[in-house]
Amino acid sequence: MVAVAVAAAKTIGVVADGLGPEFKPFGKSTAVLLLGRFKEKKLVDLGLVALNNFYGHALSIDQIFSQVDNIVFPKKEGSKMPPHAQIGALNFINGAVIKHQFPMSPAETKDVADLGMRVLTKISDPKVKTAAQEFMVRGAATRTAQPTCHFSR
- The predicted-structure confidence for 27-71, as pLDDT tens digits, reads as follows 899 899 889 889 989 889 988 888 888 888 788 888 899 999 999
What was the pLDDT predicted at 142? Answer: 57
- The predicted-structure confidence for 134-144, as pLDDT tens digits, reads as follows 888 876 665 54
What was the pLDDT predicted at 86? Answer: 95
Q: Percent helix, strand, coil in the chain (nearest 5)?
A: 75, 0, 25
Which residues are within 8 A (CB) of 84 and not within 5 positions of it... i.e. 6 or more apart? 38, 41, 44
Cα 36 to the chain's mean position, in Å?
12
In 3D space, the residue among 29, 46, 141, 120 whose CA is nearest the CA of residue 88 turns out to be 46
* pLDDT above 70 as % of the chain: 86
CB 86 within 8 A of CB 49: no
pTM, two decimals, is 0.82
